[in-house]
Chain A
Amino acid sequence: MINNWLKIFLYQIKNNKFFTALNVLGLAMGIAGLIFAILYWNDEHSYNAWNPDKERIFYSVVDLGENKVWGASAAPVGSYLSSIPEVTEYCYMNAWYTSAVMQYKGKKAIIEKVTDAQKNFFSFFPFEFTMGNSATALQEGTVVLSEKTAKRLFGSDNPMGEVIQSGDKSFTVKGVYKLKGKSSFEPDLVTCEINPKLKEKESRWGSFSFAMLVKLKDPAKVATVQDKIEGLYYDYGTKRSAVESGISTKEYVDRYGKTKIYLESLKDLRLHSRVSDVPEGRGNYQFLLIMLGLSLLILLISIVNYVNLATANAIKRAKEVGVRKILGASKGNIVKQFVFETVLTTLFSMLLAMVIVEISLPYYNMFLGKELVIKGTQLHMQLLAVFIIIVALSGIMPAIYVSKFESINVLKGNFSRSKKGIWLRNGMLVFQFSIASFFIVGSYIVNQQVNYLGSKDLGFKGDQIIDINYRNPYDFTVDNFDKILARKYVSVKERLLSIKGVEQVSGGTFRIGGGASQQTTFTCGDKEVSLQYMIVDFDLLDLMKIKIAKGRDLSPNFASDTINSVLLNETAVKMFNLKDPVGKYVTYWDDKKFKIIGIVKDFHLNNPQDPIPPMIFSHYKTMNWMIQNTNNIYVKVNPKYMESAVAEMEELWRTVDPDYPFSYDFVDKNFARSYQSFVRQRNLFSLLNIAVIMIALFGLFALASYSIQRRMKEIAIRKTLGADTSVLLKELSKQYIIFCVVGFLIALFPVYILLDKWLDNFSYRISISVLPFIIGFVVLMALTLIVVLGRAYRATRVNVLKYLKYE
Chain B
Amino acid sequence: MIKIQNLSKVFRTEEVETKALNEISLEVKQGEFVTIMGASGCGKSTLLNIVGLLDNASGGSYKLLDKEINGLSESEKSKVRKQNIGFVFQNFNLIDELSVYDNIELPLIYNNVPSGERKQRVEAIAERLAISHRLKHFPQQLSGGQQQRAAVARALVTNPKVILADEPTGNLDSKNGNEVMELLTDLHANGATILMVTHSDHDASFSQKTIFMKDGMILSEKRNSRNVDVLVSN
Residues of A near any B CB (own CB < 8 A): 1, 4, 7-8, 11-12, 15, 319-320, 322-331, 333, 407-408, 411, 413
Contacts and interface: CB of A to CB of B under 8 A. Distances in A.
B74 A328 contact: no
A328 B154 CA distance: 12
B111 interface: yes
A326 B87 contact: yes
Contacts of B75: 330-331
A327 B83 CA distance: 9
Contact of B98 (A8, A15, A325): A8
A320 B87 contact: no
A328 B105 contact: no
15 contacts: A4-B109, A7-B99, A11-B98, A319-B96, A324-B95, A324-B110, A327-B107, A327-B110, A328-B81, A328-B110, A329-B78, A331-B75, A408-B54, A408-B55, A411-B89
A680 to B, nearest CB: 48
Interface residues of B, number: 29
Contacts of A328: 78-79, 81-83, 107, 110-111
Contact of B81 (A4, A12, A326, A411): A326
B102 interface: yes
B154 A330 contact: no
B26 to A, nearest CB: 20
Contacts of A331: 74-75, 78
Given A325-B78, A327-B154, A331-B75, A319 B107 contact: no
Given A323-B94, A413-B91, 6 more contacts: A319-B95, A319-B96, A324-B110, A325-B78, A327-B154, A408-B54
Interface string B28-56: 00000000000000000000010010110
Contacts of B15: none
A704 B199 CA distance: 41
B95 A323 contact: yes
Contacts of B52: 326
Interface of B: 49, 52, 54-55, 74-75, 78-79, 81-83, 87, 89, 91, 93-99, 102, 105-107, 109-111, 154
A336 to B, nearest CB: 12
A326 B49 CA distance: 11
B110 A333 contact: yes
Contact of B110 (A8, A329, A408, A411): A329
B98 A7 contact: yes
A324 B111 CA distance: 12
Given A12-B97, A319-B95, A4 B49 contact: no
A327 B79 CA distance: 10
Nearest to B155: A327
A323 B89 CA distance: 10
A272 to B, nearest CB: 53
Nearest to B110: A328
A324 B83 CA distance: 14
A333 B154 CA distance: 19
Contact of B97 (A11, A322, A411): A11
B49 A330 contact: no
A411 B87 CA distance: 12
Given A320-B97, A325-B78, A408 B109 contact: no
Given A328-B81, A408-B55, A323 B93 contact: yes
A8 B96 CA distance: 10
Contacts of B109: 1, 4
A1 B114 CA distance: 10
Contacts of B95: 8, 319-320, 323-324
A326 B98 CA distance: 16
Nearest 9 Cβ contacts at the A-B interface: A328-B82, A328-B110, A11-B97, A327-B107, A408-B54, A320-B95, A323-B93, A1-B109, A330-B78
B97 A326 contact: no
A320 B98 CA distance: 10
Contacts of B105: 4
A15 B140 CA distance: 15
B102 A4 contact: yes
Contact of B106 (A319, A324, A407, A411): A324
Given A4-B102, A319-B93, A407 B74 contact: no
A326 B93 CA distance: 10
Contacts of A326: 52, 54, 81, 87, 93
A411 B93 contact: yes
A329 to B, nearest CB: 5
Contacts of A333: 110
A4 B106 contact: yes
Contacts of B107: 327-328
A11 B103 CA distance: 14
A328 B98 CA distance: 17
A324 B109 CA distance: 10
A376 to B, nearest CB: 41
Given A331-B75, A333-B110, A407 B81 contact: no
Contacts of B98: 4, 7-8, 11
Contacts of A15: 97
A7 to B, nearest CB: 6
Contacts of A320: 95-97
Contacts of A322: 93
A97 to B, nearest CB: 66
A534 to B, nearest CB: 77
Contacts of A7: 97-99, 102
B166 to A, nearest CB: 9
Nearest to B93: A323
Contacts of A329: 78, 110
Contacts of B96: 319-320
Contacts of A330: 75, 78-79
B160 to A, nearest CB: 10
A391 to B, nearest CB: 23
A720 to B, nearest CB: 25
B94 to A, nearest CB: 8
A807 to B, nearest CB: 12
Contact of B54 (A11, A324, A407): A407
Contacts of B91: 413
Contacts of B55: 408
A327 B102 CA distance: 13
A320 B89 CA distance: 14
A679 to B, nearest CB: 51
Contacts of B106: 4, 323-324, 327
A403 to B, nearest CB: 11
Most B CB contacts (10 A, CB to CB) among A319, A323, A324, A330 go to A323
A320 B93 CA distance: 8
Contacts of A8: 95, 97-98
Contacts of B102: 4, 7
A320 B78 CA distance: 16
A323 B99 CA distance: 14
B147 to A, nearest CB: 13
A305 B170 CA distance: 41
A328 B89 CA distance: 16
A408 B74 CA distance: 13
Nearest to B53: A326
A15 B109 CA distance: 25
Nearest to B50: A408
Contacts of B79: 328, 330
A407 B111 CA distance: 18
B95 to A, nearest CB: 5
A11 B102 CA distance: 13
Contacts of B81: 326, 328
B192 to A, nearest CB: 18
B55 to A, nearest CB: 5
